[in-house]
Amino acid sequence: MDDISTGVLFSILVLLLLISGYFSGSETGMMALNRYKLRHLASQGHRGAKRVEKLLNRPDRLIGLILIGNNLVNILASAIATILGMRLYGDVGVAIATGALTMAVLVFAEVTPKTLAALYPEKVAYSSSILLQLLMKFMYPLVWFVNGITNGFLRLLGLRVDNMNDSPLSSEELRTVVNEAGSLIPRRHQDMLLSILDLENVKVEDLMVPRNEIVGININDDWKSIVRQLSHSAHGRIVLYRDSIDEVVGMLRVREAYRLMMDKNDFSKENLLRAADKVYFIPEGTPLNIQLLKFQRRKERIGLIVDEYGDIQGLITLEDILEEIVGEFTTSISPTLAEEITPQSDGSLLIEGTANIRELNKSLNWDLPTDGPRTLNGLLLEHLEDIPDSILSVSVSGYQMEIVEISDNMIKQVKILPTQLRKTG
């Protein structure tokens, strides 16, 4: 290089620094890409995304190519810088060239391009992939040789390099993605997606209508009473039983009963029983996501929940699960819950002890614990570890409550103080 002028050597050095910056920025841009967005764009036919996806299918080869190019350029730059230093400053120029080149590489070939690539990974990766794809073809033998050595060394350490696919997202990771989506996904849609993810953590008994609230007809009642109950029914389906809810005989579609009522010749207790559908029983503890699929596969819309002894614990419908996902179809507070909450003049709320804790949390934006009892009465009894015999105040999870009414070994009514409401509102 003695015949090459100092100016030309300096120009070559600047060019090498730019090339080094290209390799550094390309590496960061490729690795900083959102892989799921990349796959989506590639499936939509985006050329840059297709190129990058192909390169990232074998990240060991891509990294090998980038590092080979970067190291060759940096070594050559170091040699040229040394020559320039010796020409300009003699022997001390070697030290000066080393320090100056180190600073130049850090600023212009490492930190700056990598920072830009981290900020704009798509722009950097898609554009740089054009040249990287060409270099991969020309330098493949060298890349293959280097990767063969490194991969062999990794195998000696017990590491596998033949499975480099991204692992699927867990439900918690997917929840984070949805939460971080921001304005990309409307808030209402985010809530629905999060509710779907929550289905696996909620059991059917968390949403069921409790046994004592199941609306049914005792077929051993007199015929006039049965007709009167059918005529005033507010439900689409009614449980038919003999004397006790545990002796269920069928699930009657009220519309079918009305049809029989229109044809008086066919309307009798025997025909009513014949028109009833077979009862669909659901084991207690079934997650909502599993039950939703079972409703779909069995073409059912309603089922009775039974415990391990076969005793009926409650009733759940397909609509209950859908409302868990999309919210109440009518109002922000379900009709049942609205009947159990009475606002007071002092700003407090008078709530029935049978109120469902999960519905209270969803409708009133509270944070009562849901990993134990399902009702407010059960939560207070668990907290007190006894059935109170007088009115008292208690704090549960930071919520100040006054037990107002107690009867039949149950807490019938609870008042939530207004100070707590302001804190949670």
Instruction: Provide the 8-state DSSP code for 109.
Output: I
The mean pLDDT of 279-292, rounded to a whole number, is 93
Q: Provide the mean pLDDT of the chain.
A: 84
Contacts of 376 (CB under 8 A, 6+ apart): 351, 352, 353, 354, 355, 357, 360, 368, 411, 414
From the candidate CATH numbers 3.40.50.150, 3.40.50.300, 3.20.20.140, 3.30.465.10, the one assigned to the domain spanning 335-424: 3.30.465.10
Model confidence pLDDT, tens digit, residues 213-269: 888 889 988 888 888 888 887 788 889 999 888 899 999 888 887 777 776 666 778
d(CA 239, CA 253): 9
Beta-carbon contacts of 375 under 8 Å, excluding residues fewer than 6 positions away, are 353, 354, 355, 356, 357
What are the boundaries of each domain within the chain?
A: 6-156, 202-326, 335-424
For residue 328, name the pLDDT band (cuts at 50, 70, 90).
low
Residue 91 banded pLDDT, cuts 50, 70, 90: confident
pTM: 0.62
The answer to whether 74 touches 21, Cβ cutoff 8 Å, is no
What's the pLDDT tens digit per position in 344-382?
Answer: 888 788 988 888 888 888 778 888 888 778 888 888 888
Dist. CA 122–CA 120, nearest whole Å: 6
Rounded mean pLDDT, 57-71: 90
Considering only CA atoms, which of 78, 105, 76, 106 is closest in space to residue 94?
78
What percentage of the chain reaches a pLDDT higher than 70?
A: 91
- Identify the CATH number of the domain defined by range 202-326: 3.10.580.10
pLDDT (0 to 100) of residue 424: 46
Say how many CA atoms lie within 13 Å of 165 toward its Cβ.
5
**Residue 423 pLDDT grade (very low, low, confident, very high; cuts 50, 70, 90):** very low
What CA–CA distance (Å, rounded) separates 92 from 402? 85
